[in-house]
C-alpha cells in the first residue's frame, strides 16, 4: 500500500503482492485527456476505493482495466503479468469482473438464467442447457459467500440490492478474482448499503480483491483499506483511511477546502406556498401507497421527507408535481387548487421539479443538452417568440447551466446519454433551480453527484430559501435531509409517522422512525398537525 498522502510513480517492476497494477495509464479522446499518467496499485485481498469528482476519470480508468478501452499509453498488470485486453472477454478470462452502475440484467429472466447467460453448461452432448448444474453451482456460490438469492426468482421482481448481488454472483460465476464496482451504493437504501459492506468483507476474507468507484467520502472511509484520489484525470494521492480525514479527502478531490455541512441559518417564513390535504394515491397496480397525507411548505422553508425508498414518497411527489392525479385529496400551490393541473401548467406557475429518475423523467437521452435545456419551457416567453423557439437563447441558457453547475465535459452539443450519471444530474438540477421558481420539489437532488457539486447544490437550495422560496426535499441521504431541512417528516407505508426537528433527532431515532416505530406519544393526527406548520 502506498504511503498516505502520496501518489505512486510509474515504471516499477511487477509486485507479487499486487492483484492489479495500472502503470502510467494515459487515455486520450478527441480533445480530452481522460487519464493522465495514472499509476494505481491494488493489493491482493483488499478493498481499494477510487475516489474523485464526476469527470475525474475514475470510470474511464476502470474501463481500461476491464478491456472496454485500450490505453493510449501505459500498461495493465494483473497478478504481476502484463496484459493486453482488447475486449471485456479478455479481462474476464484474466479474472477481472465489473459490476456497472446500471445493472446489465434481463428483468424477465431468472437469476440463474442471468448469471449463466453466455456461459451455460450443456448436457446430452451439447443439445440442452444443464439447468440443474447451473442452480447447484449458484447455490454453492451463495453458501460460500453468504448470499441469500433464489436462483429461480425473476430478476425484475427483486429489490435493487438483490439485483446487485446477482451481478456480483454473475462475475464470481465467471471466475472473477478482481471485482470492479462502479458507484455501488448509488441506488441502494441505507439498509442495503450496510448489507453491501458485509458482502465486501466476506469477499475479501476469501481472497477476492475489490476496486470500487465512488465520490462519497463516507463509504470510502468506512469500507476501504486504501483510497486513491483522482482529480482532472490525474492521481493526486493514495491514502489509508486510518491516517486521513474526510476534510483532507475532500480537499484532495476538489483542490480546495470544502464545506462538508450546510450552514442552514434560521429564516423568517411566510405563508404557505404548497399545501396538500388528505392526499391518497394508488400505484400502478391499484394498491394504496399514500394514505391521507397532509403537508404544508411555507415561503422561506425547507420541508424534508425522509424514508426508505418504496414507502409512498415517489407517488406523493408525482401527485404534487402533476405526474400523477391523486385518488383523493387536494393539492394547492400559491393559493390555487392545482390537483388537476397538468405538469406544464405547474411549471408555468412557478413549480420546479428535480425528478427521482433523471433518465425517465428528467432528460431525453438522445437529445443534446441544448434541446434538454428547454424541456418544460418550450412555450415560455423567455425562449419562444411568435410560436418559434429562440435556439440561440436556449443555447446561452444551456451553456450558463453547464458552467454554473460544472457539467463535464462542458459541451452543449453532446447528447445527454454521453455524460456520466453525476453530470446528467447536475444538468437537470441546474435547469430546474434556474427556472426562478416559487417552489422547488427536489427528489434526491445530489444522487450520483460529487462532493464539490453537492456543496454548491446545497448552497443554491439554501439561497432559494433565503429568497423566500419554498423547498420540498426528498432524500435517502440522511445527512443531507437533516442538515438542510427546517422540519423533517418521516414517511412509512404511505403515512407520516412523525414530524421532527432535524437538529435534535439522532440518527438512531430517525432510523427507528423510518422502520415504522412511531413515538408512543405521537398519533397519526398529531403528526399531520405538525407537518402543517410549526416553528423549528
Q: Can you read off the three cell numbers belonging to residue 79?
A: 497478478
Which pLDDT score is estimated for 6?
A: 39
- Say if residues 151 and 110 touch (Cβ distance below 8 Å): yes
Pairing of strands 388-389, 351-354: unpaired
Cα separation of 371 and 368, whole Å?
5
Which residue do the cell numbers 437532488 mark? 445
Cα separation of 36 and 24, whole Å?
8
Which pLDDT score is estimated for 322?
A: 96
Alpha helices in 35-74, H assignment, sequence order: 58-65
Tell me the average confidence (pLDDT) per consecutive run of 10 residues in the chain, 536 residues long: 38 70 96 94 97 89 97 96 95 95 88 87 76 87 85 88 90 94 80 85 94 90 96 95 93 83 77 97 93 97 91 95 97 97 95 94 96 94 91 97 93 92 93 96 90 89 96 89 94 94 87 77 55 55
122 CB neighbour count, 10 Å cutoff = 11
Cα separation of 199 and 18, whole Å?
22
Q: Can you read off the three cell numbers belonging to residue 499?
A: 414530524
Cα separation of 196 and 61, whole Å?
23
- Say if residues 1 and 17 touch (Cβ distance below 8 Å): no
The residues pairing with 495 across neighbouring beta strands, listed in sequence order, are 492
Which pLDDT score is estimated for 11?
A: 42
Which pLDDT score is estimated for 146?
A: 81
Q: Write down all domains in the chain, each with its CATH number in brackets.
A: 1-95+177-258 (3.40.50.300), 103-175 (no CATH), 259-350+438-536 (3.40.50.300), 358-436 (no CATH)
Number of residues in the chain: 536
Which pLDDT score is estimated for 267?
A: 82
- Alpha carbon of 50 to those of 42, 219, 249, 366: distances in Å? 10, 11, 12, 29
Which pLDDT score is estimated for 526?
A: 58
Q: Residue 75, SS3? A: strand
Cα separation of 178 and 20, whole Å?
8
Pairing of strands 73-78, 226-231: unpaired
Q: Can you read off the three cell numbers belonging to residue 395?
A: 443555447
Which pLDDT score is estimated for 105?
A: 92
Which pLDDT score is estimated for 533?
A: 59
Cα separation of 130 and 60, whole Å?
37
Give me the numbers of helices (H) and strands (E) for the chain, helices first please: 17, 24
Amino acid at each position: 500500500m502506498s504511503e498516505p498522502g502520496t501518489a505512486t510513480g510509474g515504471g516499477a517492476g511487477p509486485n507479487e503482492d499486487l492483484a492489479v497494477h495500472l502503470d502510467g495509464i494515459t487515455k486520450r479522446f478527441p480533445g480530452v485527456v481522460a487519464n493522465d499518467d495514472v499509476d494505481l496499485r491494488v493489493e491482493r485481498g483488499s478493498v481499494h476505493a477510487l475516489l474523485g469528482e464526476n469527470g475525474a476519470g475514475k470510470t474511464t480508468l476502470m474501463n481500461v482495466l476491464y478491456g472496454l478501452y485500450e490505453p493510449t499509453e501505459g500498461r495493465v498488470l494483473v497478478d504481476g503479468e502484463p496484459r493486453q485486453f482488447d475486449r471485456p472477454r479478455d479481462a474476464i478470462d484474466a479474472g477481472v469482473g465489473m459490476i456497472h452502475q446500471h445493472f446489465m440484467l434481463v428483468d424477465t429472466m431468472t437469476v440463474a438464467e442471468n448469471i449463466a447467460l453466455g456461459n451455460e453448461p450443456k448436457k446430452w452432448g451439447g443439445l440442452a442447457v444443464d439447468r440443474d448444474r447451473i442452480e447447484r453451482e449458484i447455490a454453492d456460490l451463495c453458501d460460500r459467500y453468504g448470499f441469500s438469492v433464489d436462483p429461480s426468482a425473476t430478476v425484475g421482481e427483486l429489490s435493487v440490492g438483490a439485483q446487485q448481488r446477482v451481478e456480483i454472483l454473475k462475475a464470481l460465476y465467471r471466475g472473477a478474482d478482481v471485482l470492479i464496482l462502479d458507484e455501488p451504493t448509488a441506488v441502494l437504501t441505507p439498509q442495503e448499503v450496510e448489507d453491501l459492506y458485509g458482502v465486501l468483507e466476506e469477499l475479501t476474507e476469501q481472497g477476492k480483491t475489490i476496486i470500487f468507484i465512488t465520490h462519497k467520502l463516507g463509504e470510502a472511509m468506512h469500507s476501504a483499506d486504501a483510497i486513491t484520489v483522482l482529480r482532472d484525470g490525474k492521481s493526486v494521492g493514495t491514502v489509508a483511511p486510518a491516517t486521513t480525514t474526510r476534510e483532507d479527502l475532500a480537499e484532495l478531490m476538489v483542490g480546495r477546502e470544502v464545506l462538508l455541512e450546510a450552514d442552514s441559518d434560521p429564516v423568517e417564513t411566510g405563508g404557505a406556498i404548497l399545501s396538500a390535504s388528505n392526499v391518497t394515491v394508488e400505484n400502478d397496480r391499484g394498491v394504496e401507497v399514500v394514505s391521507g397525507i397532509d403537508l404544508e411548505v411555507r415561503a422561506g422553508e425547507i420541508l424534508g421527507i425522509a424514508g426508505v425508498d418504496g414507502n409512498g414518497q415517489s407517488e406523493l411527489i408525482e401527485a404534487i408535481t402533476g405526474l400523477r392525479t391523486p385518488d383523493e385529496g387536494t393539492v394547492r400551490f400559491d393559493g390555487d387548487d392545482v390537483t388537476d393541473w397538468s405538469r406544464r401548467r405547474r411549471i408555468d406557475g412557478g413549480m420546479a421539479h428535480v425528478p427521482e429518475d433523471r433518465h425517465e423523467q428528467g432528460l431525453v437521452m438522445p437529445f443534446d443538452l441544448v434541446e434538454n435545456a428547454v424541456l418544460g419551457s418550450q412555450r415560455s416567453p423567455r425562449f419562444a417568440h411568435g410560436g418559434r423557439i429562440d435556439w440561440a437563447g436556449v443555447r446561452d441558457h444551456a451553456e450558463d447551466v453547464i458552467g454554473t453547475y460544472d457539467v463535464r465535459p462542458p459541451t452543449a452539443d453532446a447528447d445527454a446519454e454521453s455524460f456520466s450519471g453525476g453530470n446528467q444530474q447536475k444538468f437537470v438540477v441546474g435547469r430546474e433551480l434556474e427556472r426562478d421558481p416559487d417552489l422547488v420539489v427536489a427528489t434526491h437532488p445530489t444522487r450520483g453527484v460529487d462532493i464539490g457539486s453537492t456543496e454548491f447544490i446545497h448552497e443554491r437550495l439554501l439561497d432559494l430559501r433565503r429568497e423566500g422560496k419554498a423547498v420540498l426535499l426528498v432524500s435517502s441521504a440522511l445527512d443531507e435531509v437533516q442538515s438542510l431541512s427546517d422540519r423533517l417528516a418521516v414517511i412509512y407505508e404511505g403515512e407520516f409517522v412523525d414530524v421532527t426537528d432535524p437538529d435534535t433527532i439522532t440518527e438512531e431515532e430517525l432510523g427507528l422512525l423510518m422502520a415504522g416505530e412511531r413515538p408512543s406519544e405521537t398519533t397519526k393526527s398529531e403528526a399531520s398537525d405538525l407537518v402543517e406548520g410549526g416553528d423549528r
